[in-house]
């Protein structure tokens, strides 16, 4: 097993929290879809229960009004959850780019000054970061269980995933920074 650097572990932590956020967003989306379905069924049953006490036009209008209201509500849920997904994706992307940039700048700083204190500190922080990442992965798994529980037994929510390409970028940026310092 190869030793991971602080940037890689931090990136994994960011991705795990991003996945957890996406799972919570999915739970919100699915929970609201179930609620809308329940309200529609309950409303239709209540209108049907009134029988002939209400005219056919009134019953039809009541059902049509309920469908419009729930359609607007569902559209609001879709817009907010899609917006939250976009925001999480952007936050994860920016955080990962920040980690890559900090790692590259720290490497350049150490090369320029000849002081390896940042690297020593980063190496010392890796075990703590790995421990936090393990906790975050457990939290992520629990968020999947929550989303599945909200979705009900018939549906299974897919684990959110984020592209894990930043670790490769970090190595490329680090090599490029080392090449600039050497030149």
**Per-residue model confidence as pLDDT tens digits over 112-150:** 888 878 878 888 888 888 899 999 999 898 888 888 888
Residue among 31, 21, 33, 34 at smallest CA distance from 160: 21
Q: Is residue 132 part of a domain?
A: yes
- What pTM, to 2 d.p., does this model score? 0.72
Give me the number of domains the chain comprises.
1
By residue range, what is the domain housing residue 50?
6-182
Alpha-carbon gap, residue 57 to 137, rounded angstroms = 55
Side-chain half-sphere exposure of 183, counting CA atoms within 13 A: 6
Q: Would the pLDDT of 177 be above 80?
A: no
Cβ partners under 8 Å of residue 128, min gap 6: none
Instruction: Say what the pLDDT of residue 158 is.
Output: 52
Instruction: Say what the pLDDT of residue 89 is.
Output: 95
The confidence band for 28, taking pLDDT boundaries of 50, 70 and 90, is: very high
Averaged pLDDT for residues 68-89: 95
Q: Is residue 1 part of a domain?
A: no
Averaged pLDDT for residues 145-158: 70
The confidence band for 73, taking pLDDT boundaries of 50, 70 and 90, is: very high
| pLDDT higher at 43 or 165 | 43
Alpha-carbon gap, residue 124 to 114, rounded angstroms = 19
Q: Would the pLDDT of 14 be above 90?
A: yes
Q: Is residue 79 part of a domain?
A: yes
Q: How far is CA 80 from CA 9, 23, 68, in A?
A: 31, 14, 18
């Amino acid at each position: 097993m190869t030793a991971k650097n602080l940037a890689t572990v931090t990136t994994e932590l960011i991705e795990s929290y991003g996945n957890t956020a996406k799972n919570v967003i999915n739970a919100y989306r699915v929970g609201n879809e179930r609620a809308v379905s329940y309200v529609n069924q309950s409303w239709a049953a209540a209108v049907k229960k009134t029988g002939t006490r209400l005219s056919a036009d009134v019953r039809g209008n009541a059902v049509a009004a309920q469908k419009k209201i729930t359609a607007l509500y569902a559209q609001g849920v879709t817009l907010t959850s899609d917006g939250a997904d976009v925001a999480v994706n952007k936050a994860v992307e920016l955080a990962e780019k920040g980690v890559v940039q900090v790692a590259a700048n720290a490497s350049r700083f150490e090369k320029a000054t000849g002081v390896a204190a940042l690297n020593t500190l980063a190496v010392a922080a890796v075990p703590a970061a790995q421990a936090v990442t393990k906790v975050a992965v457990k939290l992520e798994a629990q968020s999947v269980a929550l989303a599945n529980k909200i979705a009900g037994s018939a549906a299974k929510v897919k684990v959110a995933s984020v592209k894990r390409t930043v670790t490769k970028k970090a190595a490329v940026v680090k090599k490029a920074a080392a090449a600039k310092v050497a030149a």
